[in-house]
Structures are given as structure tokens and as C-alpha cells.
Amino acid sequence: MIIGLDMMGGDYAPLEAVKGIALYLSSSNNQATIVLIGQQEKINPLLEEYKIPKDKIQVVHAAEVIDMHEHPTKALKEKKQSSISIGFYQLATGKMDAFISAGNTGAMLVGALFSIKALEGVIRPTISTIIPKVNGKTGLLLDVGLNADCKPEQLNQFATMGTVYAQTILGIENPRTALMNVGEEEGKGNILAQAAYPMLKENKHIHFTGNIEGRDVLMDKADVMVCDGFTGNIVLKMAESIYEISKQRNISDEYFNRFNFENYGGTPVLGVAKPVIIGHGISGATAFMNMILLAQKMLEKDVMNKMSANLAS
């Protein structure tokens, strides 16, 4: 398998990306060849410094960089020689099996939507995040920002895709799926929630358990939690603040430490034909290593084809 990595994306690029590659290659589970896309004059000295074996990597030169605050569509159109543009070209033409970047999030989302095909029948792809449960288990929340406004049919598809992801990547055999709402009773919530509930109830590909409230997100009430991207992004950012507050107050707690995004790497775009993983702009070496491992696992588990099969039926 061949996994592409944008070496110029992120606040600490390309140094932390190279260090992440070194960590990945030192692990026992380094099954992939990594394509390093970026400015060779900055990448090559670091590869020498960290003694990255040349037989496990390929370097593809990209003269341009899409900065964090550039307009995504305009930047992709005008900067054809950027690391993100070249990465998506290589992915779309079959030269890579997966693509990772901690760069411009908007450019990564636009590239995922328009450079590679969505799975057949998918209305809109989604992005998810890992939610650490207080009892040590792990949950999945989606959407967390790609679709601020949603239709009920989209939430139903998110539930199906989230269930497949929870089964294949998180190892949850029969994930409990719930709808984020302002009350547990059927019929609660806004128009979107009220319309989505009966669809989820009839979905044969998920184990729907009803509504959950905000206070249930960190508890073990559900494994897959579905909502629109506006709500999900607010929950995600609040969860990130828990880790930040614990660090500011010098609180050493095993549970709070699980909110460190580096432990999970990045966010996969679900609903597109190939794995695309978006990392945090402040990603360090551990996050880059975990993003590569996540892309590898998604390819090994054939996640995209399993989602496609469930959506089609």
C-alpha cells in the first residue's frame, strides 16, 4: 500500500512530519510505503538527519504551499504545484491509496469532495471524531463540522457510515447508534431531529437506541452519536478544551489525557472512495505517526468498500 503525506501542512512542517515518519517506521506495524510531497530542499536534509531509510519512502517535489488561511477553492485552482494539489492528483490517478495532511482544512475538504469520487449514493461525505468515554471505552461523533446544515437523509447515512467505521476501526462488534437531541423521548427536538428519528429507527444496518442528550456524550450511552456538523463541531471544540484546561491546571488524570488529539492522529473523511485524513494544524510527531497508522488500518480493513456495500443495500 502507498500512503501520501503532505510534508508542508501544519504549523511545524516539515520537521514534525519527518519525525512522525521516523516513529512509524520504527514501529512493528510499518506496512506502507510513504510518499512525501513537498519542497525537496526542506525535506531532504531532515530525511538525512533522522536517517529515514530510502527504500520505505518516495519524495515528490511540490514547489508551492497552500497556507492555512488561503481560500480553499481559489488556492487549489491557482496553486497546481502545491503539496495538497499534487497529493490529490496522485490519489485520484491511482498513484497513492490514501492521503494525509495537517494543512489547510478547507483545501483538504474541497480536494476530497472534487478530486476523488464520493461513494455511490452518498449525499454528502462527513467527518467524525473520537469521543473518550469515562469508563474507558471509545465512541464516535459525526458530523463534526463538514455539514453545518443537514437533511434527515444525511444523518441516516452518517449513522450507517459511522457504524461501519466503529466496527472496523474501533473494533465495536454491534455499535449502539443514537441521535443527539435535547431530550430522550421520541418526538423531541427540532425539525431535523424529529424527521431523522423514524429513518434511523427503520435503518437495518444500524443498532439504533434512540435519542441521547448532551450530558450523555461522555458516558457509555451510545457508541455512534449522530448530529449535524454545527452541533458536532461545538461538542468537539468543547471536548478539546477539557484537555487544555487539565494541562493549564497541571491536572494529571488518565481520563483527561485521552482527550489529547495526538493519540488519534487525525479525522478521516467518510463517504469518499479513498482514505483522506485531515490532521490538526498543530500536529506533532505522534499525531503524524497515528495518522499514517490510521490510513494503513483503513486500507487493511477495506473500510470504504464496506461502507459502500452497506449504503447500496
- Residue 42, pLDDT > 80, answer yes
Can you give the pLDDT at residue 107? 94
Q: What is residue 30's DSSP assignment?
A: -
All three cell numbers of 44, joined, read 531532504
**Average pLDDT, rounded, for the chain:** 94
Q: What is the pLDDT of residues 236-245, one digit of tens each?
A: 999 889 889 9
Give the containing element (helix H, strand E) for 5. strand 2-6
Average pLDDT over residues 275-281: 94
Domain 1-122+271-302 in CATH 1.10.260.40? The answer is no
Q: What is the pLDDT of residues 210-220, one digit of tens each?
A: 999 999 999 99
- Residue 21, pLDDT > 90, answer yes
Q: What is the pLDDT of residues 246-256, one digit of tens each?
A: 999 999 899 99
- Residue 313, pLDDT > 80, answer no
Burial environment of residue 151 by CB neighbours within 10 A (0 to 12, 13 to 18, 19 or more): middle
Average pLDDT over residues 120-142: 94
Domains in the chain: boundaries: 1-122+271-302, 124-261
Can you give the pLDDT at residue 160? 97
**pLDDT classification of 312: cutoffs 50, 70, 90:** confident
Q: How far is CA 261 from CA 38, 123, 278, in A?
A: 24, 28, 12
Residue 187: how many CA atoms within 13 Å on its side-chain side? Answer: 1
124-261 to CATH, choices 3.60.20.40, 3.40.718.10, 3.40.190.10, 1.10.260.40 = 3.40.718.10
Residue 100 and residue 275: Cα distance in Å, rounded?
8
Residue 78 and residue 245: Cα distance in Å, rounded?
40
**pLDDT classification of 27: cutoffs 50, 70, 90:** confident
**pLDDT classification of 28: cutoffs 50, 70, 90:** confident
**pLDDT classification of 113: cutoffs 50, 70, 90:** confident
% of the chain surpassing 90 pLDDT: 89
Q: What is the pLDDT of residues 142-185, one digit of tens each?
A: 999 999 999 999 999 999 999 999 999 999 999 999 999 999 99
- Residue 49, pLDDT > 80, answer yes
Within this chain, domains 1-122+271-302 and 124-261 share the same CATH topology:
yes
pTM for the structure as a whole: 0.93
Can you give the pLDDT at residue 261? 87
Residue 151 and residue 164: Cα distance in Å, rounded?
21
% of the chain surpassing 70 pLDDT: 100
